[in-house]
Structure formats: C-alpha cells, structure tokens
Amino acid sequence: MKSVAILGSTGSIGTQSLEVAARYPDRIRVVSLAASTSVGLLAKQCARFHPEIVSVRGPDEARKLADLLSGETAAPEIVYGSDGLLAVTEHPGITSVVNGLVGSVGLTPTLAALRNGLEVLLANKESLVMAGDLIKKLVADGSCSIIPVDSEHSAIYQCLNGNVASPGLSRIILTASGGPFRDRHIADFDSLTVEEALSHPTWKMGPKITVDSATLMNKGLEIIEAHHLFSLPPDRIDVVIHPSSIVHSFVEFSDGSLLAQLSHPTMEIPIQYALLGGDRMPSTVKKLDLAELGSLEFFPPDSRKFPAMELARESLRMGGTAPAVLNGANEKAVGLFLDRRIKFPMITRLAEKALSDHTVTEATESAIMESDSWARDFVERSLENHITKA
C-alpha cells in the first residue's frame, strides 16, 4: 500500500488524485494534504480521508480550517507556510508524494522528498525545469524515484513501460493542442484578453498553466522536463500541434517504430497509472471510439507566433541557472498578464529579455533560488522602466 502526501490537494491534480485514492482504498492511504487558500474544500477532504497532518498558506487559513474541523473526532495536525509544506512532505510513514503544486513553490518539497528516499509522482514541471540536473543526481543511485504525471510525460513513460533509460529510444514527440490562439493571426495578439487566454479548447486547468498553454511556454517547459526525465538532447525532442488532444505523446525507436498513448483528454489516467504503480485498473474515463473519431490531425507549430519553445531550447543550451531564470520570468510575467498589467505578447518578450540579460552560473540549489528571485525582480523592473519611458 502506498502512503501518500498530496501537495495541492484542492487543485485539479490533487482532487483527481483523491478520487483515485477513494476508488482504491486498499492500495492508497492518504496521510497528509497541502493546499493554499481553499480552506472549505480542504476541510471536506479532511473529513473524508482523515489525514494525519495538513498544511495551508498562512495562519489565517490555519485558524479557519481549525474552526471548520472543530467537530471532527480525529482532526489532523494543522501547519502552514513553507515549513508546513515541508512538514506535510516529510511526515513519518509517507512512501509517495504527489506534487500537484503550480510554480516554483513546488521545487523545495520535491527535493526534500527525494532526499528522504521517497517516490515523487510529479506534476510540478517547474521542479525539473529549475533543477533538473540536481534531481537527476538524487535519483541516480536508485534510493528515490520520479514518476511523471504530466499527461505528455506520462504518455512517454507508459510507452517505455517505465524504463526511462530505454536503449532503443530515438526521439520523443510531444503533442500540443495549440491552445486557444492556434488559429488567431499574430496581428491580433496585442488585443487578446485574459478571458480569451483562459478559454482552453480541450483541457480544464488552473489559470497559470492555461496561459502557458496559450503562449506555448507550457510546451517549452515540457521540452526541458522531457530532456531531464528521458536523457535525450533537445534536438531529439519535437513538438506537433494536435488540436483534439487524443494522442498525448509519441516515442520513436531506433528501428523506426512509433508508439503513442491515446485517450480522451484527461488527467485521471496518468494520475491513476502513477498511484497504482503501472497496474491497469478500471477508471471512469470514457473509452475511445476510433470510428467515431474518424481522423487525427497534426501540424507543425508556428515558431513566429509562439517563440516560447525556442526560448526553452535556448535556456537548455545556455545551461546552469538559465532554465530557472526562464521559468521565474515567465511565472512573473503570466501573473502580470492575469492582473491585466501587460498585453499577451509581453509575456514571452519579458521572459526572453530576462534570459538574454542573465549571467549564467552553476545550478546549485542556492543559485537556482537566487536566479528565480532575480528573474522576477528583473521582469518587474523592466515593466516599470517601460511604463516610465512611455
């Protein structure tokens, strides 16, 4: 039985992980939960799954949660902040950590879990983007492990049957829906709204990831993630636009064979596959009817409209702290767009400027954190200078 911590329990990954846990209680025991501010939903999760310890963003949320759980006979220990997140991750008895956090906040618990010899079911792509080399060193001796939960990387993992170092692997082809602006003319990009960017055609995700999908930065970050997970150079990791999101990724082998994992757009399959250790068990996902689908379409991405993927490749070529800078700058710029302080094309431009102005250093943990902070400050300063000059 897996004894799990679920980080980001009130988000999309977390809620679906809990549904899988509820479906297979003889295989999965929920030991700890972490959320940010959705205290009401977290309280319901506590009442249903009875975790031993839970974490929230700050003391106000902790007090609210304690009030909501005051009538429970076996209320969990309540902690908060970055220390609380680590306490939830490192609680005794945990064997596996589902990291469904969004953004760079997910890196520290990923490193902590791996250093404790745990299995990390990783949906937090920023961990590998920022600190891929550090993470590979931690898993190299086999005392800890990472199972990818991102739909694209899970698809590759499934095609490889869990053998991430498959000697016959020649190429990875990540699929991308193309986002809501796939068919929009680049001349329209300055007028695109937040609401339009958040209207994803095939996936229901949080706002940050949805905007990343609109710029295709999400796919750029996934190129970096795939590079670290499957030990392939960037020139052997390709992307195709696949609007229906039925094929979740391809792997090509040296003999010319191409394998793919297909399903309706859902995170339930990769989450359940990871939580059940690769066992194929019933799920609630609707089965594919190939005759009903009729055809599957694939197109090359337009790098002129969506330069983010090339930025990601460039950060890998630069190495060291460059990917952490790209990630931090993008995360900050997406927040500015969601706050309606910048236009849509400025997201990628600000990330590009941060990358070009950064002095790359060796990617130690402290240097990664400092570079992330530098990138965010750089984006804010760049915006202030732009406003002042205007």
pLDDT digits (tens, 9 = 90+) for 99-123: 999 999 999 999 999 999 999 999 9
pLDDT, position 4: 98
pLDDT tens-digit profile of 276-296? 999 999 999 999 999 999 999
Q: Determine the average pLDDT of the residues in 189-211.
A: 90
Concatenate the DSSP letters of all residues of 225-287 into one string.
HHHHHHT--GGGEEEEE-TT--EEEEEEETTS-EEEEE-SS-SHHHHHHHHTTT-----SPPP
Number of DSSP helices (H) and strands (E) in the chain, helices first: 16, 11
Decide if pLDDT at 77 tops 90. yes
Which are the contacts of 384, defined by CB distance < 8 A and separation ≥ 6?
A: none
Q: Evaluate whether 172 touches 237 at the Cβ level (below 8 Å).
A: yes
Q: Which domains does the chain have, with CATH numbers?
A: 1-148 (3.40.50.720), 150-181+206-305 (no CATH), 182-205+306-389 (1.10.1740.10)
pLDDT, position 286: 93
29 — pLDDT class (breaks 50, 70, 90) = very high
Residue 78, H or E segment: strand 77-80
Report the range of poorest mean pLDDT among 267-276, 320-329, 376-385. 376-385
Q: Determine the average pLDDT of the residues in 218-226.
A: 97
Query: CA-to-CA distance for 240 and 40, rounded, in angstroms?
Result: 40
pLDDT, position 71: 81
pLDDT, position 390: 39
Nearest CA to 88 out of 45, 148, 138, 149 is that of 45
The DSSP bridge partners found for residue 250 are 173, 260
Q: Do the bridges between strand 247-253 and strand 169-176 make them parallel or antiparallel, or are there none, so unpaired? A: antiparallel
pLDDT, position 387: 57
CA distances from 112 to 87, 94, 387 (A): 10, 12, 40
Sequence length of the chain is 390
Q: Determine the average pLDDT of the residues in 140-156.
A: 94
pLDDT, position 168: 87
pLDDT, position 388: 46
Query: CA-to-CA distance for 376 and 373, rounded, in angstroms?
Result: 5
pLDDT, position 89: 97
Report the range of poorest mean pLDDT among 14-18, 101-105, 318-322, 354-358. 101-105
Please tell me whether residue 190 adopts helix, strand or coil conformation.
Answer: helix
The DSSP bridge partners found for residue 77 are 53
Q: Determine the average pLDDT of the residues in 212-221.
A: 96
Decide if pLDDT at 244 tops 50. yes
